[in-house]
Amino acid sequence: MSHQLLKGKKGIIFGALDEKSIAWKTALKCYEEGAQIVLTNAPVALRMGEINKLAEACGNAPVIGADVTNMDDLKNLFEKSMEHFGGKVDFVLHSIGMSLNVRKGKHYTELNYEWNTKTLDISAMSLHRVLRTAWDMDAINEWGSVVALTYIAAQRVFPDYNEMADAKSLLESITRSFGYHYAVKNKVRVNTISQSPTKTTAGSGVKGFDGFINYAEKMSPLGNATAEDCANYIAVMFSDLTRYVTMQNLFHDGGFSFTGVTAEVIEQMEK
């Protein structure tokens, strides 16, 4: 059901790879809520062609390639988006994550530092790059909203999350630091949403993901939050109903983050 929460708003959505992606569901939700959108992903991801289906479902949204580690690509993305919209944007979703050390099976204690630098650039510094590009081009309207996706491994140890834990800590720190400056300059809001484990391409890359998602399900009083529910929350964060929320890390995890133990987990341990 649409509430037209985003009627008249315009935004850029990074990271829709396939229909499991959180960004994919978010694009559909924002469109349903009345927004106009531009879709973007790394050129290599666009070659898969999947995103064209999403573009069609979102009123023939333009698809503009951008490697999020490349400042020229980002400048081109914002330029073309503003041209398309005939003005500035109201929201940006950063839904990007990639770990080279995880992908190549390196243990946290044996990180390859070149890969690690790349991981931090793609998964965390990229938020700074996006915000800086928008800042330099004055591309976001007052009360605009930027959301990036994160995971609770930024606060607590989940050993197999590996170097992505450090990447998410940095991402959350950039959210606070840039969020301060952008609020003062232009009333632009920047927040992270810390999502439950979700079966997507990026999520499933984590070692032992199936066991892990089941554990989180049992440790969350409401159960794991789905990608669709995450999209709903993001749409609210893009709306005018949350204008004074900024620089926050917002848990969207069915209560996992504040639960010490659940009856279900105790039962399991007694077996």
41 binds ligand NAD (CB under 6 A): yes
Residue 30 CB-half CA count within 13 A: 33
Q: How far is the CB of 36 from ligand NAD (least distance, A)?
A: 21
The binding track of 85-124 with respect to ligand NAD, each residue x by CB under 6 A or -, is: ----------xxxx-----------------------x--
Residue closer to ligand NAD, measured from CB, 4 or 117: 117
Q: How far apart are CA 122 and CA 126, in angstroms?
A: 5
Contact indicator for 63, 46 with CB cutoff of 8 Å: yes
**The residue to which tokens 């009856």 are assigned:** 263
User: Measuring CA to CA, which residue among 103, 149, 154 is closest to residue 127?
Assistant: 149
46 binds ligand NAD (CB under 6 A): no
Q: How far is the CB of 86 from ligand NAD (least distance, A)?
A: 25
**Straight-line distance from the first to the last Cα atom of the chain, in angstroms, rounded to the nearest whole number:** 44
Site for ligand NAD in 224-263 (CB under 6 A): none
Closest residue to ligand NAD, judged by C-beta, is 203
Q: Is 193 labelled a binding residue?
A: no
Q: Is 15 labelled a binding residue?
A: yes
Active site annotation includes 244: no
Contact indicator for 33, 5 with CB cutoff of 8 Å: yes
Tell me which of 31, 151, 182, 233 is the catalytic residue: 151
Sign of CA dihedral 20, 193, 221, 261: positive
Site for ligand NAD in 175-234 (CB under 6 A): 195, 197-198, 200-203
Query: Can you read off the two tokens belonging to residue 156?
Result: 């607590």
Contact indicator for 127, 170 with CB cutoff of 8 Å: no
Active site residues: 151, 161
Q: Which residues bind ligand NAD (CB under 6 A)?
A: 15, 17, 21-23, 41-42, 45, 67-69, 95-98, 122, 149-151, 195, 197-198, 200-203
Residues making up the annotated binding site for NAD(+) are 15, 21-22, 67-68, 96, 168
